[in-house]
Amino acid sequence: MNKTVLITGATSGIGLGCARRFARNGDRLILTGRNEERLSEICMELKDEGAEVVMLVFDVRDREEARRLLAELPEEWRKVDVLVNNAGLALGLEPEQVGNPDDWDTMIDTNIKGLLTMTRLVVPGMVERNRGHVINIGSIAGDAAYAGGNVYCATKAAVKAITDGLRIDVADTAVRVTNLKPGLVETNFSNVRFHGDTDRAAKVYEGIKPLTGDDIADVAVYVANAPEHVQIAEVTILATHQASGSVIKRT
């Protein structure tokens, strides 16, 4: 059965990969993002390929705008079957004691509070209908901190705890909850982290073939389409030559 899939942060990287992959699976999409022009381009691309798509332009940090736009969805789009909480970012790689508090706020507000907002708005309907699936895009950064990763790693550790907690809270329903934990994925992630320093961002992926957003999207679609009695709670996805967040064999 085709599903209604809501994907946050769908304008690039893993979110865009998920949008394209779920569309190819025959699902219909609610795509969110901050960049209206880019989001519109993606929606038109997918519609041209035959997908049903609705776009919602907002920042997940804006709880009231998220609430308003979801409430304004046509009735037939309000029953979300799969929520992909993808919107997130890293900013800076400085030691904690000299970090930028504004960067901290943005990461915490997006990676944690934005995820909580979308969960709070969507999951009650899933519980009421006794079906649904929440897929949170975490990170191996949530398993162990690395140099300069301090606050970002903390936000992804929070995603793991929040995901595990939600799974407990809905255990008496048929709602499933999954945490996907990628390692190195070559997207605009590092470019954002380094505030547009493309040369520095490129060095992150030197000497290794990293994952792509499509690789993570393949896993997301797989877990969303597992048999109803199967709940894939957590998946760690690494490039072949990455063993952990800090152990990478480069050539």
Which residues belong to the active site? Answer: 152
- Residues 180 and 18 sit within 8 Å (Cβ to Cβ): no
Helices (H), the chain: 13-24, 36-48, 63-71, 101-107, 115-129, 150-169, 189-193, 198-203, 213-224
- Residues 178 and 223 sit within 8 Å (Cβ to Cβ): yes
Residue recorded with tokens 């993606």: 42
**End-to-end Cα spacing for the chain:** 45
**Structure-token pair, residue 86:** 């993808």
DSSP string for residues in 100-155: -HHHHHHHIIIIIIIHHHHHHHHHHHHHHHT-EEEEEE--GGGTS--TT-HHHHHH
Give residues with Cβ within 8 angstroms of 38, minimum separation 6.
11, 12
Query: For residues 64 and 69, what is the distance between their CA atoms, to the nearest angstrom?
Result: 9
